[in-house]
Structure formats: C-alpha cells, structure tokens
C-alpha cells in the first residue's frame, strides 16, 4: 500500500502501554472430527448423546468461559477452497490502488474496499474488502456487493468460501448453545436473514511495527467471528486470567473462533467477548479472512430468559442489533460527538 507513518500514529504510540507479549499457542485447540460420524444432538439432556460429542460440547463450553477464543481443526472446510480464497485475496490486494478503489465502500453501503489512508477515521494499518452473500436493503442498512471486473473468478471463489464457513459457524453456534444447556437450535432462529459478512484483510509490512497496530485493541460487537489466517501470525489476545497479551500461533488450515458481544449478552455474562488486536510484521505481508457471523438486523438482543433467574437477574437492557450495527458503521466515516456505542451502555446498574 505504500503507507507512510503519520505523526499522529507516533504520538499515539508514545502513550500506548508497552504490554509484554507471551508467545502462546495455548488457546484451546479443539478437534471437530467427532462431528463427522455423529450428528449434533438437538437436546442437551438426551441420554443417547455419544461420549465424543459430550466431550466436545464440554470443551467448547470451557473454552468459551475461560478464554472467549479457541481454534478448531478437522472443521470440514476443504483445504482446496482455503487455498483458492487465500490466492484470490492476494490477487485482489496486488491490484493497482486505482482498480481497488473502483469497488470502494461508502457511507450508505459498507460493502467493498477501503484502506486506512483514505477514511475519515484512520485507526488501523491495513486495507480490507468486505462482502456478503445475501444482499439486502432495510430502513437501517444497505448491503450491496461490489466485485472487481479485473478478477472475474473472485466472486465465485468468495461466495463458495462464505457458504462453507457459514455452515461451520452454524455448527459452532449449536455447540455453544448446547454448552449453555440450551437446545442446539436455540440461537439459530436469530440468524434468519442474517447480516453476516466476510472481510478480506491485508496488513502491509511496517519498518516500525512498534509504532502502529494492524487493528487496535477491541472486542467484536457481533455474534461469532470465524477467522482463517495465513502463517505469518500477529493476532494477540488479552488473557482473561491475568490481562497479559499473548500471541496466537497460526495452526495450518485451522480456524480461530472468538465470541462477540452478542453472545456475552445472550449468556448474561457467563461467556465474555475478549479484547484482541493485530500487530503488524516488519518484513512480511499478512492476510486474514474473518467471517463476522451476525444475527438479523431486526434482532432485539437481551439475556436469554432461560439463563436468568431471581439469583441471576438480567445484566443488560434490550437493544436492537440493526441500530447498534449501523451506529458502529457510521463511526467509520465521521467523528461522532459521543463515544462509540458499546454493550456496556446497556448494562443494568
């Protein structure tokens, strides 16, 4: 991209806490191969659930409660498809910037290309391309894809990838629901007419990686994030036990899964979304491809009634996901007069 370090980045870095980073591949690594011979049970109380599936559900629950992050292998997404989407991602970002900006996103429609140098709210050292499979327009949001004419194969590869990873995300959602002692499909209904989308990320090398972040410290505001990344690495998460930043080691052909704020609210804080960031590399380009698995914009988010009680009252007021999402997207294009909306704004006192 040819980024130059802006003085504002340097000023910000001077005031940024110099956190230590442990090189840790120790976030839970979960093998999903038990799902190959077995179906996901519909009811967590079913006595016929195989031990392999019970153990898998328990692993998912422990990872969600203790980490908010985990990696999955033997996930069912074909290696050939992973290779194709990685290749087309590199092809797209290798295009001249003038070509990429022909499919740039806008304030009304957030699908398409943008880079950190040409938005009004510069925060991250990266360039991205967002797309969804279901294009739709509501009173709150307009999602319409823009595909580059110079890469005719890109759309087909990306749409196949979306459908494969979305299928995986639904399986993970069912396992998470079962780990909360809820029916497997309890959360799935919220995802009819979902506004999920995929982001292609490219992080250019930086001569002074200590002065910038690929993505600043944040929590994901949606449901689940299912991330495929290359071998370069750079994802750091804040460990819940001690608040230390740890580097997640890439595991070949795995997916990294993290909980978003919506699951934190649905679970009434039993499961929490966790802060994370991306550190850029001084020598290598880094590519990653997250699916932001979000419910329908009409969804009103609140703690699930099955998980609240007199002894565990709801910790959040209800809020509308579509309004929340639009407000967050608006902040990418204009400096708002107030703090960006967060779930703690809906926390009950």
Closest CA to 237 of 41, 59, 23: 23
- Domain range annotation of the chain: 11-17+28-346
The two three-digit tokens of residue 204, written as one number: 């250019």
- What pLDDT, on the 0 to 100 scale, is given for residue 10? 38
Instruction: Tell me the CA distances in angstroms from 72 to 82, 168, 188, 249, 292, one per residue in order.
Output: 14, 10, 20, 13, 16
Please give the pLDDT value at position 13.
39
Give residue 206's pLDDT: 79
* Helix intervals (H) in 180-305: 261-266
Cβ-contact 52, 9 below 8 angstroms: no
CATH class of 11-17+28-346: mainly beta
**Which pLDDT score, from 0 to 100, does residue 328 have?**
78
- Give the pLDDT of residue 19: 38
3-state secondary structure of 95: coil
From start to end of 107-265, where are the E strands? 112-115, 127-131, 136-137, 142-143, 197-203, 215-218, 224-229, 235-238, 245-248, 255-259
Per-residue pLDDT at 331: 56
Q: What is the pLDDT along the chain (349 residues), one digit of tens a residue?
A: 444 444 444 344 333 333 334 444 579 999 999 999 999 999 999 999 999 999 999 999 999 999 999 999 999 999 999 999 999 999 999 999 999 999 998 777 889 998 866 544 445 678 999 999 877 676 666 778 989 999 999 999 999 999 999 999 999 999 999 999 999 999 999 999 888 999 999 998 877 666 555 677 889 999 999 999 999 988 999 999 999 999 999 999 999 999 999 999 999 999 999 999 988 888 899 999 999 999 998 999 999 999 999 999 999 999 999 899 888 776 554 444 455 789 999 999 7
Distance between CA atoms of 104 and 113, rounded to whole angstroms?
Answer: 4
Residue 120 φ/ψ, nearest 5 degrees: -75, -15
What distance in Å separates the CA atoms of residue 113 and residue 323, rounded to the nearest whole number?
Answer: 23
CB atoms within 10 A of CB 96: 9
- Provide the 3-class DSSP secondary structure of residue 38: coil
Neighbours of 325 (CB within 10 A): 22
């Amino acid at each position: 991209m040819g980024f130059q370090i802006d003085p504002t980045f340097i000023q910000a870095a001077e005031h940024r806490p110099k956190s230590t980073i442990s090189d840790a591949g120790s976030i839970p690594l979960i093998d999903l191969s038990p799902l190959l011979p077995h179906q996901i049970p519909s009811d967590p109380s079913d006595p016929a659930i195989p031990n392999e599936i019970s153990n898998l559900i328990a692993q998912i629950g422990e990872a969600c409660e203790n980490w908010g992050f985990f990696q999955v292998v033997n996930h069912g997404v074909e290696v050939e498809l992973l290779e194709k989407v990685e290749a087309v991602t590199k092809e797209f970002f290798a295009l001249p910037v003038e070509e990429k900006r022909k499919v740039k996103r806008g304030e009304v429609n957030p699908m398409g290309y943008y880079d950190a140098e040409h938005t009004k709210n510069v925060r991250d050292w990266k360039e991205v391309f967002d797309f969804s499979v279901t294009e739709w327009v509501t009173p709150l949001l307009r999602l319409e894809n823009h595909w580059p004419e110079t890469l005719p194969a890109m759309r087909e590869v990306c749409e196949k990838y979306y459908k494969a990873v979305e299928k995986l995300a639904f399986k993970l959602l069912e396992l998470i629901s079962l780990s909360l002692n809820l029916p497997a499909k309890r959360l799935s209904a919220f995802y009819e007419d979902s506004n999920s989308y995929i982001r292609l990320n490219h992080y250019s090398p930086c001569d002074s990686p200590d002065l910038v972040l690929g993505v600043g410290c944040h929590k994901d505001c949606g449901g689940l994030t299912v991330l495929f990344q290359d071998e370069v690495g750079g994802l750091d998460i804040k460990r819940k036990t001690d608040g230390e930043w740890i580097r997640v080691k890439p595991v070949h052909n795995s997916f990294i899964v993290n909980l978003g704020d919506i699951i934190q609210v649905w679970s009434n804080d039993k499961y929490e979304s966790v802060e994370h960031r991306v550190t850029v590399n001084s020598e290598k380009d880094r590519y990653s491809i997250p699916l932001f698995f979000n419910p329908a914009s009409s969804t009103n988010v609140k703690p699930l009634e099955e998980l609240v009680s007199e002894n565990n009252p709801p910790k959040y007021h209800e809020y509308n996901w579509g309004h929340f999402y639009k407000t967050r997207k608006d902040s990418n294009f204009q400096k708002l007069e107030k703090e960006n909306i967060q779930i703690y704004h809906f926390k009950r006192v």
